[in-house]
Structure 1
């Protein structure tokens, strides 16, 4: 089998991508997923948590809105997926992403705090239902069930750094690795750090409008500031400015 992750991706009929929260699919892999969808690849997205612990951009929720944040973020991810061309979206712990015979499981957003410089951990308020505190085997069992139902040619997931180190991202990495080992489905990881030489990089032209539209759906989580060429400029809810480039780095 080829060692080039892009060759694997381009020959796959179905790709199952694993993310931790609503918005991660657009922030970390928006250009890649839009490119795959445009090429006719069947993209199946599974998200582990509903992002209940996320901060909210001031003024993004209208006065009088009585829906809880998880319902608002579910609407946001549905809209974003439509722009990216993703028509199959699932929550981990709900059928078909639920182990046979198991009661539905709700993996709660773990939140995040910095334990020390460069090391993140779950928020101090993270309870036993949080994704990082639930047994890894439960989540892996649920992901295996979805793999067996969707029958992907390839899994796409975080590397061991989990993008910016969020504990839910890192946990999702380990869950995905475990499911790949159990099912034998190849796993391709996307890079956390720009230009990491351990990954094979490619530019992904022609999808910036789709990615920008998807990002604009996440009014509670970020603000789109505009464009610099093909890059989408955003400001995260915490005030950090970021550049979402139309390129991706992959490795086996």
Structure 2
């Protein structure tokens, strides 16, 4: 087992699985210490289905507590014992997407006094404290756009970048820092495979919208530093996606999923990363296949 291990900083429950679920399961299965640090409870999430719809922020406002249970189940499927929250569970609140309705009396989620986007230096220091405690060899978070522009994803990126810099001065210099990204050719190929399955007779939920492959995309290949093959833990990622049932629906085939927007997306068999701090140690194909490459050997 490698000391230090892997620290992943995510904004809401389900992000850990959507962006990095296969990588979490990959390293957990190999005995690498894995910590998933979630910044909010995801209180502003849109609820799929009627069973728990009244937990939403504009009704009972109890969704965050329920999502702790979903996160716990998802992490269990991925091989991680329990969730950990920045500042403690519920310390910062989901800020919501721009223009979404907050809880009663507030015009915008981001105006809530505990909104994560308002966390400022307190959140940076809270993350520094976690880094100093865990001394991770690898930290993973979002790219500067937060994957798809959610304000909390962007803020998680910002505080992670700031905390890694500060921790280097005060206690622990993180050896490698990555952004979790999508690779354009991989997404287009997976999208085409999804369309081919549908054309061959695969039946997806009627409300789902299947986009053309060319509509899917991501970063160009030259931006990808590392690729983790998750084929051997693919089912664990699918199980973790199913655990986030208020936020994610997975097809009966376990190859596609959709969020509340009903846009069908493929579940790809590899996860891509861009190295932004530390030593790049590629293999013969010019890419890393271990986030710990160049440190103390492969995480096997």
Question: What pairs with 1:26-45 in structure 2 (closer than 5 Å)?
Answer: 26-45=17-36
SS in 1 for 2:84: strand
Kept in 2: contact 1:163–1:193 (CA 8 A): no
Aligned residue number for residue 134 of structure 2: 150
Where relative contact order (Cα < 8 A, 6+ residues apart) is larger, the structure is: 1
* Residues in 2 aligned to 1:20 and 1:12: alpha-carbon distance in whole angstroms: 25
**Alignment root-mean-square deviation, CA:** 2.6
> Quick check: 1:161–1:192 contact (8 Å CA) kept in 2?
no
* Larger Rg belongs to: 2
**Cα distance per residue 1:116-137 (max 9 Å; x no partner):** xxxxxxx8332231111221x1
Corresponding position: 1:189 with 2:187: no
Is 2:234 aligned against 1:234? no
1:207 and 1:246 in contact (8 A); partners too = no
Q: 1:11 to 1:247 in 2, by over 3 A?
A: farther
Q: 1:199 aligns with which of 212, 224, 241?
A: 224
* Alpha carbons of structure 1 residues 62 and 172: separation in structure 2 relative to 1, 3 Å: closer
The equivalent of 2:14 in structure 1 is 23
Bigger proportion of residues as strand: 1
Q: Distance in 1 between matches of 2:132 and 2:109?
A: 34
Q: What is the deviation of 1:171?
A: 0.5
Q: Secondary structure at the match of 1:77?
A: helix
TM-score by length of 2: 0.68
Aligned in 2, Cα 1:165/1:73: closer, same or farther, shift over 3 Å? same
- Bigger shift: residues 43-52 or 192-201: 192-201
Counterpart CA distance in 1 for 2:119 and 2:29 is: 36
Counterpart residue number, 2:289: none
**Which stretches in structure 1 are left out of the alignment for 5+ residues?**
1-9, 95-103, 116-122
Residue 247 in structure 1 maps to residue 270 in structure 2? yes
Q: How far is 1:149 from its partner?
A: 1.4
| Equivalenced residues, count | 222
